[in-house]
Amino acid sequence: MHYIYTIKIDPIYIINSHLYKLLKTIITPPICQVILSFNRNMMKYKLFLILIFLIHQVTVTAQHTHETKPSTARSDWGEFEKGELIKTEVIDYKTTLIGEKILKKGELRKGYEYVDKIEVQRMVYESDDLMVTGFVVKPKAKGDYPCIIYNRGGNRDRGSLLVGTAVVYMGKIAASGFIVIASNYRGNSNSEGKEEFGGKDVNDVLNLIPALSQVEGADTSRIGLFGISRGGMMAYMASRNNPQIKAVVVVGGMSNLFTMKRNRPDMESHVYNALIPNYEKETQKQLENRSVVFWADELPKTTKFLFMHGTKDQAVSIEEPRELHEKFIEQRINHVFIEYKKDNHGIRKNSEHASKQINNWFLKYLKNNSIFKETKSRYIVPKK
């Protein structure tokens, strides 16, 4: 005898279970539970949230999977002459989008007065026989200035350098008496080659040093690194066994790509697999090589590191710098770790405080080459 079981499927339960899985990837679980507590009469709002999530996923996927256009850098700039490593061109920021934002009736708005002290240049430079694009920002006044390599975040053209990046972020540092140079990395923003997300493109950071020797006023005996997000990973990798680097500042930086993969599975599917060579066959090797926590002992004991991170950073978990701090203590690496409570990936809530820490660090340990005498290696801001 055969028995036929009739199973009653509750559509509300099904929608709730799937909605919870979707929502918790973009908002916190407690808020998810509040949303799911809505009664049946609120079902249309739940369906609306699912629709919004799907649109969000399509947008993110599109941003990650765009194709790179062939570079026209050589036809735009011409070939390098013998011995030439860098070509630059001064930009009139007033004619760009950032000019519209920071100018009012031809005058700089409050907070942007420093822009009068700097010169912004578009540039291309030679890196492993490739022509790579970027920016140089320097003080207008003549002099010999220490140099800071600014390492951008993101991947491919997401997070690429713009004139606004050069004026606002690089410019603030340059106005304090530094020449700041930044690369888009190979394969991005009309650069030749292919990005490897911490592979051979690390050479694009290191090759900025000889290029700086051809920039007027650049003192290449004083080199510092700044990195944000993915740029933090690049800064750590460029510092590895490299005592030429005097000081490093990292904001929201990646330091353990395994932790990143666990917290953000999309990084593996959209970034690691797409950009890292031999990733599927050499997963362990490739991720360890890009994660400073596995080779902190190879960082120079003379380099001074400052890294800052928001506890509510949704892009790079606070777990990463906390682990790195412990590794640095273990290896006796000169460093300070500042943890900003309830702040985000760009430390926007405490941007003024963070900006002061960045400038002070470079002034102290790069410009003045001071002896490391920090009393504490970790601070929490604000204290209360």
Question: pLDDT tens digits, residue range 81-129?
Answer: 999 999 999 999 999 999 999 999 999 999 999 999 999 999 999 999 9
pLDDT category at 42 given cuts 50, 70, 90 is low
76-381 has which fold?
Rossmann fold (3.40.50)
CB-hemisphere CA count at 13 Å for 286? 19
pLDDT category at 384 given cuts 50, 70, 90 is confident
Cα separations (Å) of 75 from 79, 131, 184, 187? 8, 11, 18, 16
The pLDDT value recorded for residue 32 is 47
The pLDDT value recorded for residue 35 is 46
The pLDDT value recorded for residue 343 is 97
The pLDDT value recorded for residue 69 is 80
Say whether pLDDT at 23 is over 70: no
Question: pLDDT tens digits, residue range 238-291?
Answer: 999 999 999 999 999 999 999 999 999 999 999 999 999 999 999 999 999 999
Question: pLDDT tens digits, residue range 116-137?
Answer: 999 999 999 999 999 999 999 9
96 phi/psi in degrees, rounded to 5: -105, 175
Cα separations (Å) of 120 from 40, 150, 164, 379? 58, 14, 10, 34
The pLDDT value recorded for residue 99 is 94
For residue 382, whether the previous peptide bond is cis, meaning omega lies within 30 degrees of 0, is: yes
Does residue 134 contact residue 181 with C-beta atoms inside 8 Å?
A: yes
Question: pLDDT tens digits, residue range 334-358?
Answer: 999 999 999 999 999 999 999 999 9
Say whether pLDDT at 369 is over 60: yes
What value does the mean pLDDT take over residues 207-236?
Answer: 98
Pairwise pLDDT comparison (19 vs 76), residue with the higher score: 76
In the chain, where the domains are located: 11-63, 76-381
pTM: 0.83
